[in-house]
Structure 1
Amino acid sequence: MAARLAAAVRCHSRSLSTASEFIRGPVQVFGIEGRYAHALYSAATKAGSADAIESQLNSLQGAIDSVSGVKEYLTLPVCSKEEKKSTLGGAFDEAGIDPLIGNMVSTMIDNKRSANISGVVGAFNTIMAAQRGEVPCKVTSAAPLSDEHLDSLKGALGSFLKPNEKLLLDTATDASLIGGMVVEIGDKRVDMSTASKIKKLKTALSLPL
Structure 2
Amino acid sequence: MAAEDPSVSGVSGRYATALFELARDEKSVDAVKADLDKFAALLGESADLARLVRSPVFTADDQRKALGAVLAKAGISGITANLINVLIANRRLFAVSDVIRAFNALVAKFKGEATADVTVAEPLSDKNLDALKAALKSVTGKDVALNVKVDPSIIGGLVVKLGSRMVDSSLRTKLNSIKHAMKEAG
User: Do they superpose with TM above 0.5?
Assistant: yes
Map residues 54-69 of structure 1 onto 2, 5 A cutoff.
54-67=33-46, 69=48
CA separation of 1:208 and 1:36: change in aligned 2, threshold 3 A: farther
The answer on whether the counterparts of 2:2 and 2:9 sit within 8 Å (CA) in structure 1 is no
Identity of aligned residues (%): 31
- Who is 1:30 aligned against? 8
Structure 1 length as normaliser, TM-score? 0.66
For residues 152 and 47 of structure 1, what CA distance do their matches in structure 2 show? Answer: 36
- Who is 2:154 aligned against? 177
- Who is 2:168 aligned against? 191
Where structure 1 has 5 or more consecutive residues not aligned to the other structure, the ranges are 1-23
Match for 1:97 among 73, 77, 92? 77
> Which structure has the larger Rg?
1
- Are 2:103 and 1:132 equivalent residues in the alignment? no
The answer on whether the counterparts of 1:25 and 1:38 sit within 8 Å (CA) in structure 2 is yes
- For residue 30 of structure 1, give the secondary structure of its aligned residue in structure 2: coil
Structure 2 length as normaliser, TM-score? 0.72
CA separation of 1:103 and 1:138: change in aligned 2, threshold 3 A: same
For residues 137 and 194 of structure 1, what CA distance do their matches in structure 2 show? Answer: 20
CA separation of 1:27 and 1:57: change in aligned 2, threshold 3 A: farther
CA separation of 1:131 and 1:63: change in aligned 2, threshold 3 A: same
Q: Structure 1 or 2: larger helix share?
A: 2
- Who is 1:12 aligned against? none
Where structure 2 has 5 or more consecutive residues not aligned to the other structure, the ranges are none
- Who is 1:5 aligned against? none
